[in-house]
Structure 1
Amino acid sequence: MSEYNYDEGGQFFPFFMLTMVGLVTVPLTYNVLKPSTDLEQTASRTKSDFIPKNADLIETQRKRRKRQNRKTKRIIAVVLGYAFMGYMIYLIAVTQRTVPKLWDPYDILGVSRSASERDIDKFYKRLSLKYHPDKAKPDVSKNETLEYVNDRWVEMTKAYKALTDEEIRNNYLQYGNPDGKQSTSIGIALPKWMVEEGNRWFVVAFYGILLGIILPYTLGKWWYGTQALTKDKVLHASAGNLFREWKEDISEGGVVAATSVGDEFKDALKGARSDAGAAKVESKVLSSSILTDVDKDRLKAIDDPVRRKTLALLWAYLARIDLEDPELEKEKYDVAPTALLLNNSFTSITLPFGAVKPLLSSFHTSQNIIQAVPPSSSSPVLQLPNFTPQIVEKISRSFKSGLLTFQKFMQLPPSTRRSLCSDLSNQQYDQAMLVASQIPRLVVAKAFFKVTGERVVTPGSLVQLVIKARVIPPGTPTSEIPPINPLDLEDIDADEGDLDALHGRKPAKNKRRKLPDGTYVEDDAKDNSVQPPLAHAPYFAALHAPRWHVFLGEARSGRISVPPFTFTSFDRPIFQTSPETGEVKPTFNVVTLRCQFQAPPQIHAFPFVMHLVCDSYIGLDEKIDVLLDVRDPKEAEVVESDEEISEPEEGEHYPYHPPINRFYPISNIINLDSLAGQLQAMKGGATSPTNTETKRKTKKRSASTVGDTKGGVPLAVAGANAAAPVDSDDESDTEGEVDSDTSETDTETEDEDS
């Protein structure tokens, strides 16, 4: 028989509640206090004292978005949880504890545990003379009653029998009581008032509300909230609208118009705000010379009032048009971050189609939104502080060398550049030049393909596109650019035992690298842990960390061969701050970017165009021709057999590279122009040219390109060492030498002006 005992004294209930609340509060505390992994929260700021017009409105929008990302509800829950836990600890400290006393016959009789049965008999007889009910009388001074005297003697008799009677002693040893097995007592750590007749229904109602309403509502809200968003954090309905706006020949203006279809704007411009001031915004935008005729017609053709006002606000933001209304100005700055989020979703939609033009249009639209510069027709110089369209137009008329690009403007002599900016005061001009000196323009010094542990690229191997580059801000004097250390252009494999590094999963454990001449160098790379400063975007109502996208395309077909790889940090610092003056200067360190993908299954020389695009700054794109030479595996065996083979010394081991079972869709890499080519590819053969012709061309090209280097450094590298020119037509074809440990393969690079 079981007996349920409730915690009438409140001794155990605080322990139960403290445990249950702690199970929720402690993990929630870690979630609140853990360091943020958002790039915008961990990066430094670009040094600038420029204050744009309506800076208070822009800062208000930034703070509002920051509050939306703040974990306010979780912080409140943690505070309440710890307050409740503190109260429970207080109850535990002040509540008097009742310690249950075990039934012990030795303690009841007052005999030693080592006493024999004979001694127990003698002691019991002496106790009977004193405590037997016929002998003992209740002590009134101690509030003793006759019932107490009888009960005391009964307990003594039980204790005596438990120590002398064999059967009763077995009951005591087995069940802890001379009477045998007792009823089970179950303690419940809940106050007794919760189950009393008057309070029972309140408890039932509480559990019903908690389990029947609050819990299903919370789980349903979380579930449907996560299901309503894509991985790009946009609504599924918005992604569907963006998909319908996709076109293979879409321009930057078309992408801007496509971002206005998001349902996110309906919440921001709902009710009376959907029409308020729409005519005023539209008239100012249409009267501006920034929009092309196609963009104006696209705006006029929209019937949805919310989308029409949204697109007009976007164009007003990009053209920096003063709307002369605080509420409209607030809406103008509010639509830009949402448009950037939708543009990122448009980029994801573009990738499966495999077209280069819409992808570049999406990347360029990101630049325009962040810098608040209209696409196509405007100069990239507008992203500098204090530069207005009127000033840029005046400079363009005075510029005699064609289109005014950002690099060409910054390469002008300082005196000429200052004279062209005569409309700016010295303070305004210094503000612009300070920001220009911190723009992270990534200049490629060398780009090549390699397979870790191999001399050549073989069909189906896991190949890496290795990019060696330096950050050289526009306008940096040639005299201040140091030459590149040839060792920084080497990409040496990790130790043969470091499998994670060889497979690209983790950085190399050993920072020491052995060069081909036998010497060792210390690698100071930091595993892409150095984050560049936040993008200088004074008109953008949100913080944004710059990102660099690298992808390979085919110039002839305009298709994407290798999807974009995104980089948000580097392996070496790119800027340093002087501790004495606080001046920010570039370090000119060579950083390494790696893009890993599977090589095509055909033996052929594949020409690609490498695109390097920054999503935050305009006019800094890099476009370089590269050549992926896929060779016959037998050729790699011949190269290895021709090398000098020596017996390993004690403690040395030959490297072993296990096969990597990682596959990528090759349809994006090889352009099969005909049905015959597709059938040939299915059979495992090359398309065109044939294997024999490819080998012959490869050997011929190898023989002709080895001599086109200066001291073992490619011509493209030598040009980068000299002055890192913007416009370069040099061609370089680098080939991994037999005696090199860098595993470089045949690569042709051609630097072009972005």
Structure 2
Amino acid sequence: MSSEYSYDEEGQFFPFFVLTLTSLVTLPLTWTVLSPSKDPDANAKRGKAASAFEAEHGITEVKSQRLAQRRKMRRVKRTLFIIVGWAIMGLMAYLIVVTKTITPKLWNPYDILEIPDSSSEKEIKSKYRRLSLKYHPDKVKIDESKNETMEILNARYVEITKAYQALTDEDVRNNYIQYGHPDGKQSMSFGIALPKFIISDGNGKYVVLFYTLVLGVLLPYLVGSWWYGIQRSSKEGVLIESANNLFREYKEDLDESGIVTALSTAKEYKLLLKGDKTDSGLAKVESKISDIVPAAEKAKLEELDDSVRRKALALLWAYLGRVDLDDDALNKAKFQVGPIAQSLIRSFTAISLAYGNAAPIIASYIANQHIVQAMLPKSSPLLQLPFFTPAVVAAVDGDSKIHATVQQFMDIPETQRRQLVTGKGLLSDDQYTKAMSVAREIPHLRVAKAFFKVPGERFITPSSLVSLVVKGRVIPPGSENIPAIDPLDLEDMDPAEDDLEAITGRKKKVKGADGRWVAVEEKIVNPTLTTAPYFARDHLPKWFVFLTDAKSGKVAVPPFPFTQFEEDIFDAESKPTFNMQTFKAQFAAPPQPGNYTFAMHLICDSYVGLDTKMEVTLVVEEASKAAQMAAEDEISDPEEDSIAGQMTALRGGQVKRSPVTAESDDESGTDEEEDDTSDTNTDTEDES
């Protein structure tokens, strides 16, 4: 059995081939572009006051770099590729519709002899004789008007003879029945969905060259680039070489200034400042920053021999000091080093976590705050506010050697606060008003309560899975009329054993308008984008909670990041809601019973001076003692007037009636007592 190749000379299969090939690429790409972005930064919004301030007074270069980053996040190149893909698919669909499809006909002896399938043997022989006389090579006449040739007529005569034999000769008929053709099994034909002109007339070598470039060069290059890109970058998104350099720079006593110097070793800066950008303007930058760099770090800068690292470090200090370099190219590079430094700090934090020393980890978070806000280490947190300059800060701090935080400044009475910072050489009334509006949008997370628990248990036993529960509210600086905390908001309700949705986190318990706890669907609330007019990226603030051992200076529980909230923090009018937020971090309890005292840190990576440090104690009971204490607690029920009694009643448990309530019930009579009991039972049923 032979094989032969045929080509799509009529162009009827080629559109199907191209449509299939293009759709395999275009459809997945379309999904990646149209599907909702999972990046919180892409879905968050900027505060109204901060947005208005940046729209009016924002730095042009920062705006352009942010816009370029947004275009990159929107995947512009992929979008253009998708448009071209859909255009090709549309064209192929059009060709499929308008191109006439040629369907190959099966070999049928009755059709060849031009007789019906029900013809008798006599009718078959009669028809064959007439056609033989007509098409016999010795008697046939060529009709040139029909473009007939002798070869065509001879082939017609052969087909007529085969058709007759297929209907009368037993052997030939068997071949026709088994294989569909009087000559028996036929050769296979492979159809190629390419027009014949592509591989004919000397074009074949170009097709071979095309496939060689695509399959032998382009495809290996793309796969190799993808694989090399994965291997050369860490999970924090920095180059492996840069991570190794940061590892060598790590020291236990590094502070924020030392971390800034360590960041200059990254290879990313060599890629940014390559070519003629290395030495250009270096002396000018160094002269501009000579007065703002700490003495120890200035000495390190002057000792550097690597011109690329030296310029990167100088630009970093210029960025942190908000120094105008009087050169467009230098100012552009100054704002470009900030986002690179921020990604490098994430890598340095991961390195510090491997060592477990608390001081470098805390310093890395504080350095990140200063990178985002473009502030020198140890500088006043008030510089985060619009229009605030060192002169304004000096007016606020006075003779104090400790800088005031934004919260402390906003706690000053309005009249006194305005007098401190407005006037000649300070802020105008309009600038003051705008700065205060921005300050009132800073999401300052204040901790109301932090405690440990094991879900479903009343005591913590050795090696159990413990949850650190942090309750807090976002109270922006300068907030007024802050409502008191409802004690019930500080409780952490355990879901019922049969409530799978609550256990898996698909819904949670909240307090309704009537004070009862009801189940609602879990929702995710993004905070507003960080107000950082000098940072050339849209950045969503992130909070980290971790525990440290004050005695050893080590991290006891690694940082848990929190980016989103479970309740709205601002309403539609940008006013704070003061909703209680809950954050949970799980870790394994110590293997031995005892009281363990830790320092709990709650640090935001985006704002300076609003972090929290408090002491928390973890009590681990022996398993046998915890079981005994639990049995004793079950015997005595809490009183209904206590918080524990209210929580137990809401859960459907038994509580003791207070003496006042009991006396009142005795005086009310039997009927009234029955009605009260019914109401209580109804409430319990609704809660369950």
Aligned to 1:627: 617
CA contact (8 A) 2:279 2:307 kept: yes
Report the residue type matching 2:468 in the other structure. L
Partner SS state of residue 471, structure 2: strand
1:576–1:513: structure 2 CA closer, same or farther, 3 Å change rule?
Answer: closer
Structure-2 residue corresponding to 1:568: 563
Query: Do 1:314 and 1:332's aligned partners in 2 also have CA atoms closer than 8 Å?
Result: yes
Q: Give the Å deviation of 1:222.
A: 2.0
> What CA distance in whole angstroms lies between the structure 1 residues aligned with 2:497 and 2:281?
67
Shift of 1:404: 2.0
Q: Residues 359-378 of structure 1: matches in 2 within 5 Å?
A: 359-376=361-378, 378=379
Higher mean displacement: 99-108 or 120-129? 120-129
> Where does residue 493 of structure 1 map in the other structure?
494
Pairing partner for 2:344 from 342, 345, 367:
342
Kept in 1, the 8 Å contact 2:511–2:518? The answer is no
CA distance, structure 1, for counterparts of residue 464 and residue 435 of structure 2: 48
CA contact (8 A) 1:285 1:312 kept: yes
Which amino acid in structure 1 is aligned with residue 382 of structure 2?
A: V
Correspondence for 2:222 among 210, 215, 218: 218
Match of 2:235 among 231, 238, 254: 231
Query: Which residues in structure 2 correspond to 1:154-169 (within 5 Å)?
Result: 155=159, 158-163=162-167, 165-169=169-173
Structure whose residues are more often helix by fraction: 2
Q: Does 1:587 align with 2:588?
A: no
Q: Is the 8 A contact 1:255 1:362 kept in 2?
A: yes
Separation of aligned partners in 1, 2:310 and 2:501 = 53
2:93 match: secondary structure: helix
CA-to-aligned-CA distance 1:209-258 (integer Å, 9 cap, x gap): 22222222222222222222111111112111111221111111111211
2:307 maps to which of 302, 305, 308: 305
Residue by residue over 1:700-751, the C-alpha shift from the partner in whole angstroms, topping out at 9 and shown as x without a partner, is xxxxxx99xx9438xxxxxxxxxxxxxxxxxxxxx999989699xxxxxxxx
Residue equivalent to 1:411: 411
User: Contact 1:493–1:742 (CA<8 Å) still a contact in 2?
Assistant: no
Is 1:424 the counterpart of 2:427 in the alignment? yes
Of 475, 485, 505, which residue of structure 2 is paired with 1:507? 505
Q: CA deviation at 1:361?
A: 0.6
Specify whether residues 369 and 742 from structure 1 end up closer, same or farther in structure 2 by C-alpha distance, changes over 3 A only: farther
The 3 A distance-change label for structure 1 pair 154 and 322 is closer
Match for 2:416: what amino acid? T
The SS at the match of 2:368 is: helix
Q: Which residue in the other structure is 1:91 paired with?
A: 95
Q: Which segment drifts farther, 605-614 or 6-15? A: 6-15
Per-residue Cα deviation, 1:142-166 (whole angstroms, up to 9, x for no partner):
7778877776565455445544555
* Greater CA drift, 452-461 or 275-284: 275-284
- Alpha-carbon spacing, 1:514–1:469, altered in 2? closer, same or farther (3 Å): closer
Shift of 1:533: 0.5
- 8 Å CA contact retained: 1:111, 1:120: no
2: distance between equivalents of 1:55 and 1:441?
25
Amino acid at match of 1:472: I
The whole-number CA distance in structure 1 between the counterparts of 2:158 and 2:434 is: 100
- What is the aligned partner in structure 1 of residue 63 from structure 2? 59
Match of 1:246 in 2: 250
1:91-170 map, 5 Å = 91-109=95-113, 113=117, 115=118, 120-128=120-128, 130-133=130-133, 155=159, 158-163=162-167, 165-170=169-174
Aligned positions of 1:534-613 closer than 5 A: 534-578=529-573, 584-613=574-603
8 Å Cα contact 1:133-1:149 kept in structure 2: no
Over 3 Å counting, the alpha-carbon distance change for 1:362 and 1:109 in structure 2 is same
Q: Secondary structure at the match of 2:407?
A: helix
- Secondary structure class of the residue paired with 2:341: helix
In structure 2, the residue corresponding to 1:226 is in which secondary structure? helix
SS of the residue 2:448 aligns to:
strand
User: Given the superposition, is the C-alpha separation of residues 635 and 162 from structure 1 closer, same or farther in structure 2, using an over 3 Å criterion?
Assistant: farther
Displacement, 1:92? 2.9
- Structure 1 110/430 Cα, relative in aligned 2: closer, same or farther at 3 Å? same
The 8 Å contact of residues 319 and 335 in structure 2, kept in 1 or not, is answered as yes
- State the alpha-carbon separation in 2 of the partners of residues 742 and 432 from structure 1: 51
Structure 1: gaps (5+ residues)? 579-583, 646-705, 714-734, 744-754
* Residues 2 and 185, structure 1, Cα contact 8 Å, conserved in 2: yes
Q: Could you give the per-residue CA deviations for residues 271-303 of structure 1, whole angstroms, max 9, x where no partner exists?
A: 332222222222232224xx4332332333323
Paired letter, 1:521: W
1:458-497 counterparts in 2 under 5 A? 458-477=461-480, 480-497=481-498
The C-alpha deviation readout for 1:606-626, integer Å capped at 9, x for no partner, is: 111110000111111011211
| Pair 1:198–1:409, CA change in 2 (3 A) | same
Q: Measure, in 2, the Cα distance between the counterparts of 1:379 and 1:512.
A: 41
Structure 1-normalised TM-score?
Answer: 0.78
Verify the 8 A CA contact 1:494 1:508 in the aligned structure 2: no
The alpha-carbon deviation at position 17 of structure 1 amounts to 2.2
Number of residue pairs aligned between Structure 1 and Structure 2: 638
SS at 1:467 equivalent: strand
Q: Aligned AA for 2:408?
A: K
Structure 2-normalised TM-score? Answer: 0.85
In the alignment, is the contact (CA less than 8 A) between 1:11 and 1:96 conserved in 2? yes
* Pairs within 5 Å for 1:642-721: 642=632, 711-712=642-643
- Mapped partners of 1:396, 1:154: distance in 2: 111
Whether 1:526 and 2:522 are equivalent positions in the alignment is yes
Aligned-partner Cα distance in 1 for 2:567–2:643:
25
Q: Are positions 1:273 and 2:263 aligned together?
A: no
Correspondence for 2:683:
none
| Cα displacement string for residues 396-433 of structure 1 (whole angstroms, at most 9, x for unaligned residues) | 1177x965222221111111111111232121011111
Of 282, 286, 290, which aligns to 1:282?
A: 286
Which one is further off, 132-141 or 267-276? Answer: 132-141
Residue 180 of structure 1 and its aligned partner are, at CA, apart by 2.0
Residue 208 of structure 1 corresponds to 212
Comparing 386-395 with 221-230, which one deviates more in the overlay?
Answer: 221-230
**Hey, what's the Cα distance between the residues in 2 that align with 1:530 and 1:434?**
22
SS of 1:577 mapped into structure 2: coil
Deviation per CA, 1:663-717, whole angstroms, max 9, x where unpaired? Answer: xxxxxxxxxxxxxxxxxxxxxxxxxxxxxxxxxxxxxxxxxxx99xx9438xxxx
Distance (Å, rounded) in 2 between the aligned partners of 1:187 and 1:356:
70
Q: Residues of 1 paired with 2:310 and 2:77: CA distance?
A: 35
Is the Cα–Cα contact under 8 Å of residues 469 and 592 in structure 1 kept in the other structure? Answer: yes
* Distance of 1:41 and 1:146 partners within structure 2: 75
Q: CA deviation at 1:175?
A: 0.6
> Which is worse superposed, 205-214 or 364-373?
205-214
Identity over the aligned pairs, expressed in percent? 49
CA 1:525/1:490 → structure 2, altered by over 3 Å: closer, same or farther? farther
Answer yes or no: is the 8 Å Cα contact 2:44–2:529 preserved in 1.
Answer: yes
Distance 1:172 1:59, change over 3 A: same
Aligned mates of 1:285, 1:139 — CA distance in 2: 101
Q: Cα distance 1:489–1:14, how it changes in 2: closer, same or farther (>3 A)?
A: same
**Which residue is equivalent to 2:682?**
none
The question of whether the paired residues in 1 share the 8 Å contact of 2:128 and 2:164 is answered with no
Letter of the 1:588 partner, please give it: F
1:553 alignment partner AA: T
Partner of 1:133, secondary structure, is helix
